[in-house]
Structure 1
Amino acid sequence: MGYFGDVRRYGQDTVTEAYAIRCCIYLPLAVICLVLMVVLNIYHFSPSFNVRLLYIPALDKSLNSSTNASIVFDLSFTNIEKFSNVYYDPVNITLYDSPNQNHSIANFTIPEFTVKAVELNAFSGAVNATGIDFKAAKREIAANGFKVFHVSVETSVRYDYYGFWKTKRYGYRRGEDVKIGDTGAANLGREMFVWFRVALVGLVVMFLSTDIYF
């Protein structure tokens, strides 16, 4: 009996030691995973804004018309978050006839909207320009090959946590200079770069949030 008792005690000691070793290994890993989950839910990547199209018919030399004061636009808002939706308050858009933003020529508001995780919302339309000197703009295009306009965005955004609750509002201001040539339109070839950046950030987030199985 003594021998078998010693064997049982030895077996129990071995199991206890193995359990302690597993705890020493798994507990720090679990803490690291928990910290990563908290960080991913607290820190958010700011959504991006891009001008996909800006067309001013009055500056299109093929139309030979300076009476059309409309500006055609196509704007995009991209959410590069993998798990969070982005909620936009009404977005104020202002167009300026120069990068220094001291003279606005048009403004409009996009109603509140939501961009889901790793998605893009695009808004297109037309707005009438006021106070723009088309003759001076054409002279500048003839001299430099283009005229620089500026598109400004101002709103506030919120994020959610896996669709359950929303964060506080964060101020969101963006702007983009746009070069308009004698076709009246901007040559905007950045969509490939935008989606490359979205894919890159998505891969990083996916790596950090990958579940670890023991």
Structure 2
Amino acid sequence: MRYLADIQRYGRDVVDRAYTIRCYIWLAIAVIVIVLFNICQVSPLFYVRRLYIPALDKSLNSSTNASIIFDLSFINREILSNVYYDPVNVTFYDSPNQNHSIANFTIPEFTVKQSEYKAFKSTEEVKSGVVNTTGLDFEAAKREIAANGFKVFHVSVETSVRHDYYVFWKTKRYVYKRGKDVKIGDTGAANLGKDIFVWFRVTLVGLVVMFLSADIYF
């Protein structure tokens, strides 16, 4: 109805030209959005899912087990791109200032697949391991836990990551370095929740949809 009314008001040639221009603009915007989703990567997330030091577990009453048991989680928030990790160097420190490392561990290279488009569900890859500590003063750590209720450790990961475009070619390598402070109590364990993040690209999509829904022809 509106098309016919516009023809009567402006003439068929003017209206057809306007509708053609509108289609081209829609197509151009769609292409731009697709490109942006591929070239504007969102940095993957890292968090400590589990950290357990048996020597600090009061119920065991033993300091002979000098190991650290851990689960680390790597999250890909990209819905159109896989994330490729080079070998990940994991370093454990006995304080947040990171001036004294107590253990090192290397996770072999791996890939975190693209997240699910439906409901924008992220993809998670969990890496577990056990490593022996060196130079950790367990008695001092226990005294600190007894006095404060916990002792703060720090977990640092460092590697390089790449993203892919349409699975055909990959970006250059980008340095990826993250760290988390972890509070260990007298159970020797700390269970941590996921980080909270904002899907800023959801907002971008919403703005684009609003723009496309508006009348952009003359």
Same fold (TM over 0.5): yes
Correspondence list, 1:88-99, <5 A: 88-99=85-96
The change in CA–CA distance for 1:56 and 1:112 in structure 2 (over 3 A counts) is same
Aligned-partner residue type, residue 93 of structure 1: V
Structure 1, residues 93-129: CA drift from partner, whole Å, max 9, x if none?
0000000001000001101100001211101121100
Could you say which residue in structure 2 is the equivalent of 1:49?
46
| Residue 172 in structure 1 maps to residue 176 in structure 2 | yes
- Check the 8 A contact 1:89/1:112 in 2, yes or no: yes
TM-score (norm 1): 0.84
Within 1, Cα distance between the matches of 2:208 and 2:62?
A: 56
- Check the 8 A contact 1:82/1:202 in 2, yes or no: no
3-state SS, counterpart of residue 58 of structure 1: helix
The number of aligned residues is 197
| Residue 135 in structure 1 maps to residue 139 in structure 2 | yes
Q: 2:187 aligns with which of 165, 183, 190?
A: 183
- Check the 8 A contact 1:80/1:201 in 2, yes or no: no
Aligned-partner residue type, residue 141 of structure 2: A
Within 1, Cα distance between the matches of 2:92 and 2:60?
A: 22
Query: Alpha-carbon deviation of 1:17?
Result: 2.4
| Residue 146 in structure 1 maps to residue 143 in structure 2 | no
Structure 2 gaps, min length 5: 1-6, 116-122, 214-218
3-state SS, counterpart of residue 89 of structure 2: strand
Structure 1 gaps, min length 5: 1-9
Q: 1:108 aligns with which of 105, 113, 116?
A: 105
Within 2, Cα distance between the matches of 1:88 and 1:73?
A: 19
Could you say which residue in structure 1 is the equivalent of 2:22?
25
Query: Alpha-carbon deviation of 1:204?
Result: 4.7
Query: Alpha-carbon deviation of 1:42?
Result: 1.1
Within 2, Cα distance between the matches of 1:142 and 1:202?
A: 45
| Residue 83 in structure 1 maps to residue 80 in structure 2 | yes
Structure 1, residues 72-111: CA drift from partner, whole Å, max 9, x if none?
0000100000110000001000000000001000001101
Could you say which residue in structure 2 is the equivalent of 1:159?
163
| Residue 64 in structure 1 maps to residue 39 in structure 2 | no
Query: Alpha-carbon deviation of 1:205?
Result: 7.0
The change in CA–CA distance for 1:206 and 1:20 in structure 2 (over 3 A counts) is closer
- The runs of at least 4 aligned residues of structure 1 exceeding 4 Å deviation read 200-210
TM-score (norm 2): 0.82
The structure with the larger Rg is: 1
- Check the 8 A contact 1:72/1:127 in 2, yes or no: yes
What is the identity percentage for the equivalent residue pairs of Structure 1 and Structure 2?
62
